[in-house]
Amino acid sequence: MLALDLLVNGLIFGLFYALMAVGLAMIFGVLKVVNFAHGEFYMIGSYAYVLIALKLGIPPWLALPLAALTGGALGWLVERLLMRPLYAGHGSWSSSKDEYAVVVTFGLSLLLVNLVDKIVGPYPFRGPVLIETSRFSIGPVMLNGQKLIAAGVSLCLLIGLALFIKRSLWGRQIQAVAQNRLGASLAGIDATRTTSMVFVISGMMAALAGALLAPLINPGPDVGAFPAIKSYVIVVLGGMGSIWGGMAAALILGVCESFFAVYVSYAYRDAFGLMLLILVLLVRPQGMFGEKGREL
Amino acid sequence: MNVARIAALLGLALTGYAGSGMAADPIAIGISIAQSPPGSVVQGTQVKDAVEIVKDMVNAKGGVLGRQIKLIYEDNQGIPEKGRAAAEKLITKDKVVAIAGGHQSSVCLAEIEVAHRYNNPYINTNCWSDDVRKKGYPEVFNPANYNTRVSSAMTDTIIAMGVKSVVAFAENTDYGIGQAKITGEMLKARAPGVSYKYETVDRAGKDFTPAILPLRANPPEMVITIMLPPAAYIVMNQLYEQGVAPSAKTWLYDGSGLADYPDFWQNVKEAGKYMVSFALYHPQMATPKIGLDVAAEYLKRTKNEPNRLIFQAADSLLLIVDAIKEAKSTDSAAIIKALQTMKFSGVRGPFQFGKQPGYGYQQWVDIPYVNYQLTEVNQPISKTNLIQAPGQALDVKKLVRPAK
């Protein structure tokens, strides 16, 4: 019974991890840089959801897409104002693009955390639930409604994103730019617009993860740090830039952490993810699902 | 020299004298708090609100030794290294006469090393770890609560309630681990029949379910939280979600004074109902007039009910002001000597610092506390079920168990 509880809890948190990490994987896939402000997209999504619902009195089901739009808008702005110099006609900058990306995204992360801290305040806010249900049990597994709904929405979003990338024209354009930016441009794909789209999607996904979890994790200004670290681990475990690998790694990490916490040591649960990361890098540097390199 | 010139010179001299008197340098006092993450900005904000109120009150009455007081803030972010740098800067660059504000034990432990090196008075506002006292530094004074006091109170409560099995969730900090260990030692000595264990959890963690799930199959009679928000809120919500505590089988007992945080009910809702809480402030506690004045001003400025941290921070600054008055000097050694010997009467009543080595060194040893139970969602502290008044025995009959 305990094992089933752990499996369900691990899968649910794995879905949350996946929703968070997928945007990071996409950005790495397209730009080959790490967005260190990714956790703050999540934080902005949490706050947008909570403030829209609690302060403006808008129903939570409407606040959820509005939070996603906020994250998407932030992603678009970040790409347009901060990331475009990496690839759009700034030759001297792009020669040290890794350093530029680290500095600019890390600075953005600190800026956003401190802005929210000063403007909204330091107190954590628990977001409103999407559906008012008391705790309930399905067989031996005890759940609350919000957790189940958040997991369900996350699963739908991940499947939707996977289909979008695989089947849609824009999704194929993203795949093309990720594989070869110059080649995609020569084939007539607007790589700049595609990159912009990737940042919008990444911002929306992270913001949705933050909004869905806002009733469960009591977000404060620094709420993004924890999921961001998990996301970095997942992206490397799954294979840098691989969406599918990232999703699988998130679920594996969620379940493994859950079991490790109970059967080995709760205190070292987070260290387990990092141990796994080191192990995978030693044995399989391209990540668990990294055969296809940085394909999307 | 004619009369007009003499009068002009006298006038200039008098103007200059008056000018220098008016412009007497303010007395600088350092306040090191967390004003940005990852430290507890919630606590830092409360400390700042309280010391600002006291500063304004003191300055409105003419200051101290005829000089206004000026507070210089440093943001330590709850990081020990930043705290050390903050203390160094406050003492060497800003020339503060004393430092106060510390509200996270790991930061206090770093800062007191600097204060000790420069022989600068350090008032510990809210660092509970006994280690801050055990260092035995003559510069460090503790009007704040301390771990041994809480553990002793919790042990008394556990014994009085007849609880036989206890699981504690302690945050992975000097405060949390220290508190959990001392509680275990006290229970072993005073109630050896009680089974006790604690789980160390990350204060930045978001999912504590794996630590909670094993308790469902084998629920203890009491779960204790030794954690700060927001992690404490998440643990409470997940304990409630899993049906572990509070429940008909398991009491939830908070040893951190969570219920008086202004954001408590917004963050826990049903999970806070029936929680029993150790606390350092309850409106039914006797409060001197100066305490009531600070409380009223805090309510006016922030629209929040005052809590123990407001009073602790207010006392920290008042202690420095009174010590300067007593010493009639801003010299560090004179202030330290005054603090060691004077009888202080602050916003929480009169006290004097202890002299015994160990956790009681330069500590307000008999700091008053209460225990109360929250019996309704959104219940204000004044309406809670007071099960132990200061200095009284715990009245177990007043406790209310959840139906399921």
Give domain status of residue A296, yes or no: no
pTM of the prediction? 0.81
* Interface contact A258, partner B, CB < 8 A: yes
Nearest to B205 among A220, A221, A226 (CB): A226
Q: How confident is the model at residue A91 (pLDDT cuts 50, 70, 90)?
A: low
Q: How many CA atoms lie within 13 A of B307 on its CB side?
A: 23
Give domain status of residue A13, yes or no: yes
Give the integer Cα–Cα distance in Å for B139 and B108: 13
Contact B221, B213 (CB under 8 A): no
Q: How far is A94 from chain B (nearest CA, A)?
A: 32
| In chain B, domain spans | 27-145+287-351, 148-279+374-398
Q: How confident is the model at residue B119 (pLDDT cuts 50, 70, 90)?
A: very high
Q: Report the sign of the C-alpha dihedral through residues B249, B251, B252, B255, in that order.
A: negative
Give domain status of residue A139, yes or no: no
Contact residues for A83 (Cβ-Cβ < 8 A; gap 6+)? A31, A33, A101, A104, A195, A199
Structure tokens at B167: 């699981």
Least confident range from A34-38, A291-295, B110-114: namely A291-295
Least confident range from A83-97, A148-162, B175-189, B253-267: namely A83-97
DSSP state of B64: B
Q: Report the sign of the C-alpha dihedral through residues A132, A136, A139, A142, in that order.
A: positive
Chain A contact set for B233 (CB, 8 A): 124, 126, 218
Instruction: From B24, B26, B49, select the one nearest B321 (Cα to Cα).
Output: B26
Q: How far is A276 from chain B (nearest CA, A)?
A: 19
Contact call for A266 and B210, based on CB within 8 A = yes
Instruction: From B329, B326, B360, select the one nearest B343 (Cα to Cα).
Output: B326
Contact residues for A270 (Cβ-Cβ < 8 A; gap 6+)? A257, B202, B205
Q: How far is CA A136 from CA A13, A199, A210, A259, B241, in A?
A: 18, 38, 24, 22, 8
Contact residues for B341 (Cβ-Cβ < 8 A; gap 6+)? none
Structure tokens at A241: 């830039």
Residue A86, classified by CB atoms within 10 Å of its CB into exposed (0-12), middle (13-18) or buried (19+), is buried
Nearest to A125 among B36, B266, B269 (CB): B266
pLDDT at residue B17 in the model: 44
Q: How many CA atoms lie within 13 A of A58 on its CB side?
A: 14
Q: Tokens 């959990």 belong to which residue?
A: B180
Give the integer Cα–Cα distance in Å for A199 and A194: 9
H/E stretch holding B371:
strand B370-373
Query: How far is it between the farthest Cα atoms of chain B?
Result: 102
pLDDT of B1 strictly over 70: no
Q: Which residue has the higher pLDDT, A171 or A141?
A: A171
Contact residues for B337 (Cβ-Cβ < 8 A; gap 6+)? B327
Q: What SS3 class is residue B324?
A: helix
Burial A191-219 (b: 16+ CB within 10 A, else e): bbebbbbbbbbbbbbbbbbbbbbbbbbbb
Chain A contact set for B402 (CB, 8 A): none
Q: How confident is the model at residue A284 (pLDDT cuts 50, 70, 90)?
A: confident
pLDDT at residue B297 in the model: 97
Structural domain count of chain A: 1
CA torsion angle B123 B124 B125 B131 (round to 10)? -170
Structure tokens at A240: 């840098």
Give domain status of residue A138, yes or no: no
Give domain status of residue A294, yes or no: no
Question: What is the phi-psi region of residue A220: left when phi exceeds 0, alpha when psi lies from -120 to 50, beta otherwise?
Answer: beta
pLDDT at residue A295 in the model: 47
B27-145+287-351 and B148-279+374-398 agree in CATH topology: yes
Q: How confident is the model at residue B19 (pLDDT cuts 50, 70, 90)?
A: very low
pLDDT at residue B5 in the model: 57
Q: Report the sign of the C-alpha dihedral through residues B86, B89, B90, B91, in that order.
A: positive
Cβ-Cβ contacts under 8 Å between A and B: the total is 108
Residue-level length of chain A? 296
Structure tokens at B346: 């602050």
Nearest to B213 among A223, A262, A270 (CB): A262
pLDDT at residue B12 in the model: 47
pLDDT tens, position by position, B191-206: 999 999 999 998 888 8
Q: How far is A87 from chain B (nearest CA, A)?
A: 33
pLDDT of B175 strictly over 70: yes
Contact call for A122 and B217, based on CB within 8 A = no
* Interface contact B242, partner A, CB < 8 A: yes
Residues 278-337 of B with CB under 8 A from A: none
Contact residues for B270 (Cβ-Cβ < 8 A; gap 6+)? A134, B240, B377
pLDDT tens, position by position, A16-49: 999 989 888 888 888 788 889 999 999 999 999 9
Contact residues for A160 (Cβ-Cβ < 8 A; gap 6+)? none
Give the integer Cα–Cα distance in Å for B256 and A45: 30
pLDDT at residue A63 in the model: 96
- Give the best residue of B241, B265, B269 to mutate against chain A (max A CB count within 10 A): B241
pLDDT tens, position by position, B372-398: 999 999 999 989 999 999 888 999 999
Nearest to B210 among A9, A218, A219 (CB): A9
Instruction: From B253, B166, B209, B173, select the one nearest A266 (Cα to Cα).
Output: B209
Structure tokens at B377: 């969602």
CA torsion angle A34 A36 A42 A43 (round to 10)? -170
Q: How far is CA B337 from CA B9, B30, B92, B121, in A?
A: 44, 19, 21, 10
Q: How confident is the model at residue B8 (pLDDT cuts 50, 70, 90)?
A: low
Q: How confident is the model at residue A246 (pLDDT cuts 50, 70, 90)?
A: confident
Give the integer Cα–Cα distance in Å for B152 and A246: 49
| Mean pLDDT computed over every residue of chain B | 91
3-state secondary structure chain A: CHHHHHHHHHHHHHHHHHHHHHHHHHHHHHHCCCCCCHHHHHHHHHHHHHHHHHCCCCCHHHHHHHHHHHHHHHHHHHHHHHHHHHCCCCHHHHCCHHHHHHHHHHHHHHHHHHHHHHHCCCCCCCCCCCCCCCCEEECCEEECHHHHHHHHHHHHHHHHHHHHHHHCHHHHHHHHHHHCHHHHHHCCCCHHHHHHHHHHHHHHHHHHHHHHHHHHHCCCCCCCHHHHHHHHHHHHHHCCCCHHHHHHHHHHHHHHHHHHHHHCCCCCHHHHHHHHHHHHHHHCCCCCCCCCCCCC
Q: How many CA atoms lie within 13 A of B86 on its CB side?
A: 31
Give the integer Cα–Cα distance in Å for A267 and A261: 7
Residue-level length of chain B? 404
Residue B20, classified by CB atoms within 10 Å of its CB into exposed (0-12), middle (13-18) or buried (19+), is exposed
3-state secondary structure B157-198: HHHHHCCCEEEEEEECCHHHHHHHHHHHHHHHHHCCCCEEEE
Backbone angles phi, psi at B58, to 5 degrees: -65, -45
Tell me the residue range of the domain where A203 lies: 2-132+145-283
Contact B177, B128 (CB under 8 A): no
Q: What percent of chain A has pLDDT over 90?
A: 41
Look at the domain B27-145+287-351 and name its fold.
Rossmann fold (3.40.50)
In this prediction, residues A180-195 reach a mean pLDDT of 90
For the domain bounded by B148-279+374-398, which CATH number is listed? 3.40.50.2300
Give the integer Cα–Cα distance in Å for A187 and A205: 29
pLDDT tens, position by position, B33-75: 999 878 888 899 999 999 999 999 999 999 999 999 999 999 9
* Interface contact B240, partner A, CB < 8 A: yes
Q: How confident is the model at residue B23 (pLDDT cuts 50, 70, 90)?
A: low
The residues with which B70 forms a beta bridge, in sequence order, are: B28
pLDDT of A205 strictly over 70: yes
Q: How far is A265 from chain B (nearest CA, A)?
A: 9
CATH number at residue A63: 1.10.3470
Contact call for B36 and A117, based on CB within 8 A = yes
The residues with which B173 forms a beta bridge, in sequence order, are: none
* Interface contact B376, partner A, CB < 8 A: no
Q: How far is CA B213 from CA A141, B84, B218, B219, B230, in A?
A: 10, 40, 9, 10, 20
Chain A contact set for B45 (CB, 8 A): 121-122
Q: At residue A43, what is the residue type? A: M
